[in-house]
Chains A and B, each alone.
Chain A
Amino acid sequence: MPAASIGWLVLAGVAAPAALFGLLGGASVLNRPLPERWTSRLTAVAMLTACSALGAAFVVSGATLTAPQLLTYGAWSEPGEGGVAIQFLVDGRSLAFGALSAAIAGVVGAFSNRYLHRESGYNRYFVLLAMFVTGMLFVALAGNVEVLFIGWEFIGLSSALLVAFFHERPAPVSNALRVFSVYRISDAAMLSAAVLLHHAAGSDSLALLTGARTSAAGLTQTSATVIALLLIVAVAGKSALLPFSGWLPRAMEGPTPSSAVYYGALSIHAGCFLLLRAAPLFEHALAARILVGALGAATAIFAAIATRVQSDVKSSLAYAALTQVGLIVVEIAIGWYTIAFVHLAGHACFRLLQFLSAPNVLHDLHGMENDRPLPSRGVRPGGSPGVVRQRLYLFALERGFLDPLLDRGIVEAFANVARRLTRFDAWLCGVLMPAPARAGVDRAEVRDD
């Protein structure tokens, strides 16, 4: 009986934001957006429902369940044979994170209602917020890798579209593309891990990762390590760990409430939560565990340095959040899972408050931006040598030179090869056929049917 009630509560918790997403999204597709008043009320009701239902499920499961329980709600497509089954894996941690996500989204929704009042993209914002919460709950409660992947994709796309929220300016749009490109790397790694898990273990259930079934399910040391490495790439992309940290300040182009909920509170922690879920897998892959610990430590140090020189408050807060994310990852690598989870939840709430109050602080202090002078050369009494400080300052100011590194190492190399291949294709047609009799005639011609 308690299991059945938990099943219904979880279903209600996930269905509420999903229904909100469907409703607001459907209205947008039909170009009939709901009035602001209705949108805000529906958002509040959906988030309240999700938070209450998942909170109640958390209480019931804490009182009755002794082990994680897999809830199955049928199959999305064909059962078996590669079909997508709708499964949620519930335990105290997943339900708590789900309830926390819904609560934070509810707070942000209430804040955004006033913050974005009469903004032209008001409805678009709430559609994407509902999509994000649905994705977060899928990630928090996922019982198999397909459900996890769906949530992962929802978070990624909504994040990129919210970075480009002020779409009439080119900078947010180009930054959104940048953010999305890192997310696609993360998505590809996640999907690859899912497929490998399916083929190595014969099942894509996340119970393989979260319980003692890891070794029993046929995962060898090698396959566990490869899957863990792919998960690390997925987590690094989503949580802005090194070397993918460059997208984080770019993502601050979106409206402040979205920055708060994504890069202060929830999205940036989604990777940490995935690591927590997959912790038993990492226990079977020592190399991957060491790597993830090192990545977390390096990210924490880098972000702690970078946050000190940021000239705008949102970037500064984002790097401060990244410092804590790095520490949480280190805690997970060490094996302090409970501490890591408490750290994660506390940090999400604290950083959310900081982000949401940032506009007010800016308004009160007026001249807060660009207030950091370049350090002078020479040795300060009791400080580091001037050259070291100068270099560290430059390193922090340039955000670790990560963007040029990725640009030159990957983006430009890829673009150059692709452009050469394009030219080759065009040349192939040019060789076969002579140039047109009238130059430029086909370029101007657009007649079509």
Chain B
Amino acid sequence: MTDARLWLAGIAALPCVVIVASYFRVDVERLRRAAVVSAAGTLLLTIVVGASPGLRAFSVHTTALGWTPGGEALVRVNALSAALLPFAAALWLLTVAVTPRAMLARDGLRRTALATLVTLASFLTESAVVLLLLSAASVWIFVAALGDPAHRRQRRVVALYLGGSTLVFAAGVALLVSPGVTGTWAEAAAMWLIVISVMVRKGIVPCHAWLPEAFDRGRLGPAILFSAPQIGAYITVVLIVPRASPDLLRTIAVLALGTAVYGAALALVQTSARRACGYLFISQSALVMAGLDCTSVSALTGALVVWLSAGLAFAGLARCVLVLEARRGRLDLSTYHGGYDRMPVLAISFLLMGLACTGFPGTIGFVGQELLVDGAVDAFPVLGFAIVAASALTGLAVLRMYFSLFCGRPEPAAHFGLRLGLTRREAWTFVALVIALVGLGIAPGPLVHSRFAASREILQVRGATVTVKPAPSAGQAVRRMDPSPRLRRAPLPARSATVLSRRSPPRRSVAGGRQGRAARA
């Protein structure tokens, strides 16, 4: 079983099984069981693919979708996707396992499987055209989830923002894949268009207004599934970081740092739990974006770790809110709801997942944020401290939510006598997620090591891409792409070099990056 194609086919087949089954007259609870089994199977397969060095070097190139020398990887598994694939599968498992029975619907399960399939496919490609199609598909799935009349207004808001973002993305990709675009104004314009599109999708200020609205008055489940994987971050890594100028990256990073503080500050004063979740997501998403655009190994690694930790923790946190809503209705944070004694597992899980979001020591978020702060302060000696402020505010917002949702009242009289505890499936899912977040926090070595490898690959591709540009002056071009001093010190792992040299054409090889550095020296 060393053929990656078989494994990838297996990964794609499991969501497809659920999609097909949803069209038959299967009892919805049985369909959910099938979805849980499929999601667990997908998680297992993706972990195997991510952990096997032999499978990780797989790629399929094509020259049909662009004019990039050597073509683009239509499908590829590398160090970056090795962790993102299990991440997407885990989000699917979390979604189907803890969706309350009253909110379960056949079309919802189908949509969830379809969204996961799109996310998995997105994490497997670096083709701009394919990413555009998949991005449009994910937006369509999300907008379709808001199809009922009660969410008409939110549907319009989301369609306007995300539809517009997709159109802008399409314009950017069209420019990017045009022949002879390398090094011209068209490439810069394409970069700006893609950046704007990503900013809308990730809710970076000033393009963020749709996100709290979608979380608060839209449907929280689809909103989580659309936002938590952060396909916008993936587009940034694959399309923007390798090609964008340092000025553009700095601009994005500064906006993202500001957004991180903005989101955390606003999460602190919300009276709606859903809206607070929306702003928390904006803050976390911006932290990832800031790290990706700092172009130092440390910041990039931190961002990749935070991407996973905050994504999982945030999805779990928002799912806890949904589970609570199923028992209590809308949750108002301006009052206390109590209930810790009835739902201790949910309360503890909520607190721990929130702490993982904030980067509390002992969770995987801590290691990610440490690396992120370190790299961000390297790049922005003053603005980098925005991450510290965002982290402090996020921690406060999470504890405020915890106190409001689980403390402050003996027992809500309105619900007295009702069974408020978790079902076994919900409890085990939350506990498993907490164990994963804490376990990876106590022993983060393998994950951090793999993210270091991924970030080095990304920066090597960036260095190699830029050194082949026909810039006006060679010295200038090399200077523009100066990797951080940390990168210069860091030796390239042998495995990464193999992967790159195998899947990249000669002009985008590691040698290009090294020659650039030698020229600079």
Contact = CB atoms under 8 A, between A and B. Distances in A.
Contacts of A195: 373-374, 377, 384-385, 388
Interface stretch (A59-67, A75-83, A307-315, A346-354): A75-83
Q: Which 3 A-B pairs have the closest CB atoms?
A: A449-B108, A167-B407, A82-B374
A360 interface: no
A176 interface: yes
Bin the interface of chain A by size.
35 or more
Nearest to B274: A446
A330 B222 CA distance: 57
Given A418-B265, A421-B266, A83 B220 contact: no
A170 B374 CA distance: 39
B99 interface: yes
Contacts of B269: 415, 418-419, 422
A449 B103 contact: yes
Contact of A82 (B275, B298, B449): B298
Interface stretch (B8-16, B231-239, B334-342, B512-520): B334-342
Contacts of A192: 385, 388
Given A78-B448, A448-B103, A188 B367 contact: no
B449 A78 contact: yes
Given A78-B445, A82-B301, A425-B212, 17 more contacts: A28-B344, A77-B371, A78-B301, A82-B375, A150-B362, A168-B408, A173-B336, A184-B396, A191-B388, A191-B391, A195-B373, A414-B265, A418-B269, A426-B212, A442-B153, A448-B103, A449-B109
Contacts of B490: 81
A188 B330 contact: no
Contact of B427 (A31, A170, A435): A31
B385 A81 contact: no
A154 B360 CA distance: 9
Interface string B388-412: 1101110110011001001111110
B265 A77 contact: no
A443 to B, nearest CB: 7
Contact of A149 (B111, B149, B345, B361): B361
Given A31-B344, A31-B427, A188-B389, A436 B153 contact: yes
Nearest to B109: A449
A46 interface: no
B220 to A, nearest CB: 5
A376 interface: no
B268 interface: yes
A37 interface: no
13 contacts: A77-B445, A78-B448, A78-B449, A157-B355, A164-B403, A184-B393, A187-B392, A192-B385, A418-B265, A418-B268, A425-B209, A432-B157, A443-B217
A435 B407 CA distance: 35
A363 interface: no
Contacts of A391: none
A331 interface: no
A199 interface: yes
B20 interface: no
A29 interface: yes
A1 interface: no
B435 interface: yes
Contacts of B29: none
A188 B392 contact: yes
Contacts of B407: 164, 167-168, 173
Contacts of B157: 429, 432-433
Given A77-B444, A167-B407, A188 B431 contact: no
B6 interface: no
